[in-house]
Amino acid sequence: MNVERALRLTAGTVVLLSLALAHYLSPNWLWMIAFVGVNLLQSAFTNWCPAMSIFRTFGMKDASCCSDSSICCSGK
């Protein structure tokens, strides 16, 4: 699994979990969904979010556009 997939998996899980908690416990859990949304929005512009740094710390690699990791796809 790469960083981008882990980020999407984590964001989706947090959103669904927050929806369930808001439904069964307290509407205040909707703030967690807003937090996830704001983080995803700012990461679209900055290409950085705290979760990505954490996943990289755990050794996850960034996604590569190539099937052969020995070839650079950055267009250089």
Q: For residue 76, is pLDDT > 70? A: no
- Residues 17-58: pLDDT tens digits? 999 999 999 999 999 999 999 999 999 999 888 999 999 999
Q: Report the pLDDT value the prediction gives residue 33, as an integer from 0 to 100.
A: 96
Q: Which residue has the tokens 């069964």?
A: 24
- Letter for the amino acid at 46? T
Show the tokens assigned to 59: 């050794």
**Angle at the Cα of 69 from the Cα atoms of 7 and 73, rounded to 5 degrees:** 80
- Residues 4-20: pLDDT tens digits? 999 999 999 999 999 99
The reported pTM is 0.76
Q: Report the pLDDT value the prediction gives residue 32, as an integer from 0 to 100.
A: 97
Show the tokens assigned to 2: 């790469």
